[in-house]
Amino acid sequence: MRITQSMLSSNMLRNLNNSYSKMGVWQQQLSTGSKLLRPSDDPVGVTKAMSYRTQLAQNAQYDENLDTATKWLDSTDTALGSINSAMQRVQELITQAANDTNQTIDRQQMLKEIEQIYGEIKDLGNTKIGDMYIFSGARTDQPLYGESVKSEQVLYRDANGNVIADVQTTTQKDGSAITIVRDADGNVASKITTAKDANGNTITTITDGQNNVIQAPDSGKYIDGAGNIIETAQDGTINVSHAKDGSNVISKDYTTTRTTTTTNYGGVATEQRIENADGTSITSILDKNNKVVAKISITKDGAGNPVTSVTDGSGAIITDRILVTDDMGGTIEVYADGTKKIGTLKPSPPPTTTTTSNGTNTTQTDTYKNDLGQTVATVNTVSPIPNDGTFTTTIRDSKGALVGTVTGQKDSFGNIVKTVHDADGKKVEEPNKVLRASDGNGNIIEVNALGNVNVKYLEVGQVTNSVTDAAKSVTVNEFTFKDASGNITATSETVINEDNSTYTTTIRDSQGNLVSTTTGPNPISVTDGRNLPVSGGVAVESNGSIIKTDPITGTTTVTSMKDNLSTSNVTTTDGTTITGTTTYKNSAGDIIATSVKKTNPLTGKSTTVITDKDGNTVSTTAITKDQAGRSIITVTDATGANVNAPDKLSVVDANGNYIITDPATGQTSVSTTTPAVEGPVTSLNTANNNLLQTLTGMNSSVNIEIYNDIQLQVNTTGAQQMFSKLDTVFSKVFAALNGTGGVTSGEDISDLLGGTNSAADRDFTTIQGIQDLISMERSTVGAKQNRVDMMSDRLALQKETLTKQQSNVEDVEFEEAITNLITQESIHRAALSVGGRIIQQTLVDFIR
């Protein structure tokens, strides 16, 4: 091939160009550090590099997200930890407060401290990260406890001023509100929730006490035990009517064969012992005024063993003893085991005194004896030798049990000051306190605050007269009158002698005082409480109720002063069936309802038919016995349909009178109603009383993405519930520590502690329960913290790997690039010098 100059130069030029451009590439790579300068350098590499960059950018973002998540979780954990320690302090305080040795004033101090702790917990509920409240769900702008919450109370009262409904409305800043309607006992009657939907329209929802939604158009109707009615309409208006009058009776009928023994103990007491054929007995002990002091009942338990119970005149069960003395010194003392001491108290003759000395002390022993020469009391007085006037006197009863001590000590002026302590070490103080002790034998030792000892012994009353009637077959109707609140107003006992069909009805008031005794039927005669015959009937006011016995019919009518509803009862028998007719009348004397109970005394089966004022049947209650002798109560309504507990059959007539039958007990209560008086609106907000906000979204979760599509909820959505439970716990604590009527109860306080896996514990409304809840929330947070830590480690690892891969794809290997550049430089230089030589060398140079 022929080679020409121009070929040489163009070859060289192209080579030099190539080598320049190569050097340019190396140089650019070296100066940028990247071997991917444009996509065409390495399309696959560029795609990879882009996706590595994307992933790295993402990971960097996730790293930041993890920091945020950690911030949230750490703050939450710290706050929960603080709440927990605060609750531990509350627990300590409550444990201490539960001890009854604490005076009310001590409990007040504890209350003050707990109030502070509550405030602290509210502050913790408003914990912030930056400007975000962490316990407010998605409403991070809103403090959990806000001052903008409005809480108001309206009380509805009956004619007597008693509260029958308590309506508390808590209105949130956004206009949403929760109204809780409670009855007098604090049971929730209904809840009215007002919320706003996304368009800002108000939506009102009403739920009953069991949180069941009451669907439109029904209104929620709630009737409490006293027959008060609280009605909540769909629009949230509340209509409260109270049972103006109310009556409730219990009637018990049976047949038995009984022996009646009447024993007189002098003028002190009369004992009436009714012994039934089956060995059960009722012993009534009456004082000289015929008032029942005690009733000793001997019944049989399931196994046939006798069981003794003692009740006082008002029917309350006695656990210790009853001691009654009359103006004549007559004493009746009945113990819970049924033993009794009846007699007359006599002052003890002067004591016999012996004095001994042991060199330091002189001991004077006074021994008091009764008329039989038995020791009733011993009084030991120890005084030092020489006698400076100080002494210690120990008083013991006949059994040697400590009654009290009297000490004489010198005050700063040298005067002797006497102090009396009872057996428990409690101080007996002037002016009125008298220490009185009974030794169980009816002897009484009195020590007044001045240290004077007065000993009386019981001269056991002699049985002056004891008559035992022959056993006779009787049918008994025990009838109890109750007022609207369920309190006993009167009792009636009708004993029908099966032999001659005569009956005796004994009416007593709620305290057991005899009101009247009616015998009949032919003629009907009524005697009053003093057993004196009366011709105009008996009417007695007792404890706010008027108990009236009609002299002609023998019907007893009880009218509660408060309720003005009268209930009358008459019981008759035809030998096989006892018919008890109860008539309920309002204050105007109109009949509201009539109840007719027919009982077969032999089988115990009964049927009670209740009719309204027009004579229509309202309900029928049938009581039958199963094979084991237990009562089976069946209540049917006017149509004959069964009514099952816990529903109550409630019938209202046109005049607003209610007849309510409870299938659980078979009892019927009758009441008339009138609208309750709506009290003024009372604001419950006080200056620093931050209330729990319950805005929409406060239960929402706050999520942070910690990895591709992995979202971690960083807030505590249970916070609302937890703090509302805390509120409940604190309000319970405050109520218990404030007590009722200034009196606190150690038992009530210790109930707050919980820890017995009770329902309240499980509802997290005890101190133990709420601590469990806090721990639960805390452990969730802890688990999340672990997760975040793990993810953080994972991200770090991934970052390393990704960076390495990115570097592999994108970064220049400097050694290689520099080597290449240097090599290329050498080649370039060589090409230049060789080219220069070749091009220079032409024949021209050699032709001269």
Binding site for another protein (CB under 8 A): 1-7, 10-11, 14, 34, 36, 38-44, 46-47, 49-51, 53-54, 57-58, 60-62, 64-65, 68, 130-133, 136-142, 173-175, 198-200, 695-697, 700, 702-705, 708-709, 711, 715, 810, 842-844, 847
Per residue, the 3-state secondary structure of 678-691, as one string, reads EEEEEECCCCCCCE
| Alpha-carbon span 558 to 293, nearest angstrom | 23
Other Cβ atoms closer than 10 A to 205: 16
Q: Is 1 exposed, middle or buried (0-12, 13-18, 19+ CB in 10 A)?
A: exposed
Which CB atom, from 50 or from 623, has the smaller least distance to another protein? Answer: 50
Q: Least separation, in Å, of the C-beta of 226 and another protein? A: 42
Answer yes or no: are the C-beta atoms of 137 and 698 closer than 8 Å: yes
Q: Least separation, in Å, of the C-beta of 43 and another protein? A: 3
Q: Least separation, in Å, of the C-beta of 55 and another protein? A: 10
Which tokens sit at 49?
């590099």
Choose among 176, 230, 227: nearest CA to 200: 176
Which tokens sit at 328?
């004549």
Q: Least separation, in Å, of the C-beta of 137 and another protein? A: 7
Which CB atom, from 53 or from 426, has the smaller least distance to another protein? Answer: 53
**Crossing angle of the two packed helices 746-753 and 719-738, in degrees rounded to 10:** 160
Choose among 287, 350, 368, 348: nearest CA to 322: 287
Q: Least separation, in Å, of the C-beta of 68 and another protein? A: 4
Q: Least separation, in Å, of the C-beta of 749 and another protein? A: 39
Answer yes or no: are the C-beta atoms of 778 and 770 closer than 8 Å: no
Q: Which residues contact 796 (CB under 8 A, 6 or more apart)?
A: none
Which CB atom, from 42 or from 312, has the smaller least distance to another protein? Answer: 42
Q: Least separation, in Å, of the C-beta of 141 and another protein? A: 5
Which CB atom, from 16 or from 539, has the smaller least distance to another protein? Answer: 16
Q: Least separation, in Å, of the C-beta of 789 and another protein? A: 18
Which CB atom, from 259 or from 703, has the smaller least distance to another protein? Answer: 703
Dihedral sign from CA coordinates of 159, 160, 162, 168: positive
Q: Least separation, in Å, of the C-beta of 171 and another protein? A: 13
Q: Is 380 exposed, middle or buried (0-12, 13-18, 19+ CB in 10 A)?
A: middle
Give, as one character, the DSSP assignment of residue 34. Answer: B
Which CB atom, from 613 or from 784, has the smaller least distance to another protein? Answer: 784
Q: Least separation, in Å, of the C-beta of 62 and another protein? A: 8
Q: Is 13 exposed, middle or buried (0-12, 13-18, 19+ CB in 10 A)?
A: exposed
DSSP string, 107-127: HHHHHHHHHHHHHHHHHHHT-
SS3 of residue 576 by DSSP: coil
Instruction: Report CA-CA distances (Å) from 344 to 15, 330, 337.
Output: 145, 4, 22
Q: Least separation, in Å, of the C-beta of 846 and another protein? A: 9
Which CB atom, from 662 or from 810, has the smaller least distance to another protein? Answer: 810
Q: Least separation, in Å, of the C-beta of 806 and another protein? A: 9
Which CB atom, from 500 or from 708, has the smaller least distance to another protein? Answer: 708
Which CB atom, from 59 or from 557, has the smaller least distance to another protein? Answer: 59
509 pairs with which residues across the strands? 490
Which tokens sit at 547?
């108990």
Using the structure block, give the residue that is written with the tokens 């975000």.
132
Q: Least separation, in Å, of the C-beta of 778 and another protein? A: 21
Which CB atom, from 28 or from 504, has the smaller least distance to another protein? Answer: 28
Which tokens sit at 64?
């930041």
Which CB atom, from 9 or from 587, has the smaller least distance to another protein? Answer: 9
Using the structure block, give the residue that is written with the tokens 């929760």.
178
Which CB atom, from 55 or from 572, has the smaller least distance to another protein? Answer: 55
Q: Is 80 exposed, middle or buried (0-12, 13-18, 19+ CB in 10 A)?
A: buried
Q: Least separation, in Å, of the C-beta of 610 and another protein? A: 55
Tell me the helices (H) and strands (E) count for the chain, helix number first: 8, 52
Answer yes or no: are the C-beta atoms of 557 and 570 closer than 8 Å: no
Choose among 201, 213, 143: nearest CA to 176: 201
Buried/exposed code over 438-447 (b: 16+ C-beta within 10 A; e: otherwise): bbebbbbbbb
Which CB atom, from 55 or from 259, has the smaller least distance to another protein? Answer: 55
For 830, half-sphere exposure in the C-beta direction (CA atoms, 13 angstrom radius) is 6
Which tokens sit at 447?
């020590």
Q: Least separation, in Å, of the C-beta of 203 and another protein? A: 13
Which tokens sit at 514?
């005899």
| Alpha-carbon span 192 to 202, nearest angstrom | 12
Answer yes or no: are the C-beta atoms of 770 and 724 closer than 8 Å: no
Which CB atom, from 654 or from 843, has the smaller least distance to another protein? Answer: 843
Q: Least separation, in Å, of the C-beta of 73 and another protein? A: 13
SS3 of residue 205 by DSSP: strand
Which CB atom, from 484 or from 788, has the smaller least distance to another protein? Answer: 788
| Alpha-carbon span 645 to 665, nearest angstrom | 9
Which CB atom, from 54 or from 756, has the smaller least distance to another protein? Answer: 54
Which CB atom, from 133 or from 156, has the smaller least distance to another protein? Answer: 133
Q: Least separation, in Å, of the C-beta of 704 and another protein? A: 6
Angle 68-805-811 from CA coordinates, rounded to 5°: 110
190 pairs with which residues across the strands? 181, 208
Q: Least separation, in Å, of the C-beta of 807 and another protein? A: 13
Residue ranges with strand state E in 576-676 = 578-585, 591-599, 606-612, 617-625, 631-637, 642-643, 649-652, 657-661, 668-675
Choose among 732, 718, 698, 735: nearest CA to 772: 718
Which CB atom, from 32 or from 553, has the smaller least distance to another protein? Answer: 32
